[in-house]
Structure 1
Amino acid sequence: MESRAGTNGSAAKNFWNNGSRLSGSGMDYMYIKMEKERVRVKCAKETCPWLIYVAKNSATLSFEFKTFNDEHTCGRDYGNNLADRVWETDKAFKAARETVLGNEKARYEKLRNYMLELHRSNPGSTTNMEVVPFPHSLSLFERIYICLEAYKTGFKAGCKPLIELDGCFLKGYYGGQLLCAVAQDANNHSFGLVHAMKDVMPNVHHRHCVLHIWKNFRQRFKDKQTEGLVWAFFSHFPKNDRTTNNMCEVWNATIVDAREKPILTRLEEIRCTIIKKMANHKWILSSYTEKLAPAQQKRVDKFIKPGCHKWIAQWSGDNNRVLFEITRGKQKLEMNLQQHTCTCNMWQLSGMLCVYAVAAISKLRVRTAEDFVSPLLTMDAIRTTYNVCVKPVNSEEFWKEASQPKPDPPRITRPAGRSKK
């Protein structure tokens, strides 16, 4: 039969309302025309008269069936190339993923409810969501910032005052970027601070990853005195001698699976990962009794103390007994035990003793080497850092409804060219 606009088009409507399931009828179809205002599809067999043509009516601004010939003169072919095994498997996988993880678009509508739950369960937390407003429709999600109270309190209480920043691309349907801020505790463990960070703190001291700069510098300048000039541009305040941003790289590798999940699932997995890491570190170190954190104590015992006997410490004769001259052959370094300074600059930079300082302390024979290490590297700093915890959060059926409008997902920006996936 053939149906046209204004006649009985029930067969055409039935075909179209079934989602144009061209793969389900056992027939092979081809699109002759696929435009914004008109679509023409015919049977792939040249001699078969089956045809459907849909076009937009400029008067009613709706689509109408202009032509529909529902007669097939060809046989069924269930080897349809429009729906092969890969296509069917991919469709089933997407349906299963949506069942388990939820609809990606619907996840954005619950973000404000999630922020309310974080404030309820973890008072003092900071959350902020920015949207792109539209006059006659829902606003579009732009970015979200989350920093829980336990992160802020733990960082300020005992972590080294240096924040490492890094970003990674998200692999979900809507894409985007995830920016994370990671700190380091006294035992050199990562301490999560912020995810989905918006700004890069322009008013604070910045330290860049200098690993490759350092290697190139060493290739050109061989003497140690010239190499030491590189560290002159680093602040002594953080007590951290790291030259790379590897802490963030390790963190990004930890959450690599979460980067493919819908936004709410991703945020929850990141939060749960931080909870597990904080609880695990606290449990392992709860029975440790030394003064320094385990990583720092190992550094003192294995790498610093064994080398101090090669250096001779000569007291300068000052009344406070803090000034020493450290000598080995023709090389001499100035040491001040009261100000925790050495010519090598490593003590000031890292807060950890150098071999020259241990040589002077051994000469003093009044206090142990551990007494001169920065408080940021001690077990007291560990205890104050992990004296807080991230409070439990309820699942979404217990969340309160936010009064603000729900945002729509961000616009999808696809790169030019054919998709590789």
Structure 2
Amino acid sequence: MIKSMCKEHSCGRDDENKNVTSTWIVKHLASQLKAVPDMKTDAMQAYFMDNFCIKVPYQTCYRAKKKAIENNEGSHSKTYAKLLAYGDLIMEKNPGSVFKLQFYERSVMFDPPVFKRFFICFKTCVDGFLNGCRPFIGVDGCHLKGTFGGVLLVVVTVDGNRGLFPFAYGVIETKCKDNWYFFLNQLYTVLHAGICDNPITFMSDKQKGLCDAITNVFPRSQHR
């Protein structure tokens, strides 16, 4: 028998739930994180507080965001593992193209290969440069923001309409003299038959080791 009832409650409520995992968060925010990959963790925490009255720790939201990005964009490690197959496909579908992939030396024979750097140039891009572009080459790179970092290098020129014409690119671990020599040697191999040592004007931001590499690999070139 109920003798009396108090409608006002003064007892506190625990807004933390240990059953709220990063996997559970991904299921509820999959579509939102796919539409807005850069969603802030503060916004994720506010969403669950407003809709479920649950306080989610920052680290849990951070792990959920990483899982969602991997589900939507794929795994970086699995993508790097497909580079050999990608190179074979390039050579099969684009005869005359150049694909150069290098790994670090393995201390144990049965260890999986570790990516070091690669260079890609499609045959049609080379033909376009030799037949319709000026003898002008711009070389630059930007740092990759993915899990493994690295630097994306690209070679561009100017076509007959004064538009940028990219025709070679690659990925290296860092900007240094050895990597610049690797990249420019591959570029020289691609262009040597067409330019026959004719002078080419290079434009760059004169990164460390780049000027020396250009002078040695393309001795008759100009560098600005």
Q: TM-score if structure 2 supplies the norm length?
A: 0.53
How far has the Cα of 1:207 moved from its partner? 4.1
Provide the rounded CA distance (Å) in 1 between the counterparts of 2:151 and 2:104: 17
Task: Indicate whether 1:88 and 2:82 are aligned.
Answer: no
Letter paired with 2:132: G
How far has the Cα of 1:166 moved from its partner? 0.7
- Tell me the equivalent position of 2:81: 109
Task: Indicate whether 1:196 and 2:170 are aligned.
Answer: yes
Equivalent residue runs for 1:159-238 within 5 Å: 159-196=133-170, 198-200=182-184, 205=200, 207-208=202-203
Q: Deviations over 1:121-151 (max 9, x none)?
A: 1111100100012132122100011001111
Q: TM-score if structure 1 supplies the norm length?
A: 0.29
- Tell me the equivalent position of 1:127: 99
- Tell me the equivalent position of 1:156: 130
Q: Deviations over 1:70-100 (max 9, x none)?
A: xxxxxxxx86xxx61x333322221121112
- Tell me the equivalent position of 1:325: none
How far has the Cα of 1:120 moved from its partner? 1.5
SS in 2 for 1:138: coil
- Structure 1 unaligned runs (5+)? 1-22, 27-77, 211-236, 245-421
Q: Deviations over 1:18-69 (max 9, x none)?
A: xxxxx8379xxxxxxxxxxxxxxxxxxxxxxxxxxxxxxxxxxxxxxxxxxx
Q: Given the superposition, is the C-alpha separation of residues 192 and 205 from structure 1 closer, same or farther in structure 2, using an over 3 Å criterion?
A: closer
Provide the rounded CA distance (Å) in 2 between the counterparts of 1:107 and 1:209: 30
How far has the Cα of 1:206 moved from its partner? 5.1
Q: Are the aligned partners of 2:139 and 2:203 in contact in 1 as well (CA < 8 Å)?
A: no
Letter paired with 1:182: V
Q: Considering only aligned residues, what root-mean-square deviation do their CA atoms show, in Å?
A: 3.1
RCO higher in 1 or 2 (8 Å CA, sep ≥ 6)? 1
Provide the rounded CA distance (Å) in 2 between the counterparts of 1:209 and 1:141: 26
SS in 1 for 2:78: helix
- Structure 2 unaligned runs (5+)? 1-16, 21-53, 172-181, 189-196, 206-220
SS in 1 for 2:162: coil
Q: Are the aligned partners of 2:137 and 2:203 in contact in 1 as well (CA < 8 Å)?
A: no
Q: How many residues align?
A: 137
Q: Are the aligned partners of 2:136 and 2:158 in contact in 1 as well (CA < 8 Å)?
A: yes
Letter paired with 1:110: K
Letter paired with 1:200: L
Letter paired with 2:157: A
Letter paired with 1:199: F
Q: Which has the higher helix share?
A: 2
Provide the rounded CA distance (Å) in 2 between the counterparts of 1:151 and 1:185: 11
How far has the Cα of 1:196 moved from its partner? 0.8
Equivalent residue runs for 1:134-153 within 5 Å: 134-136=106-108, 137-153=111-127
How far has the Cα of 1:105 moved from its partner? 0.8
Letter paired with 1:187: N
SS in 2 for 1:183: strand
Q: Given the superposition, is the C-alpha separation of residues 96 and 182 from structure 1 closer, same or farther in structure 2, using an over 3 Å criterion?
A: same
Provide the rounded CA distance (Å) in 2 between the counterparts of 1:176 and 1:168: 9
Provide the rounded CA distance (Å) in 2 between the counterparts of 1:208 and 1:183: 10
- Tell me the equivalent position of 1:97: 69
Letter paired with 1:24: K
Provide the rounded CA distance (Å) in 1 between the counterparts of 2:115 and 2:184: 20
Provide the rounded CA distance (Å) in 2 between the counterparts of 1:168 and 1:187: 26
Q: Deviations over 1:242-279 (max 9, x none)?
A: x98xxxxxxxxxxxxxxxxxxxxxxxxxxxxxxxxxxx
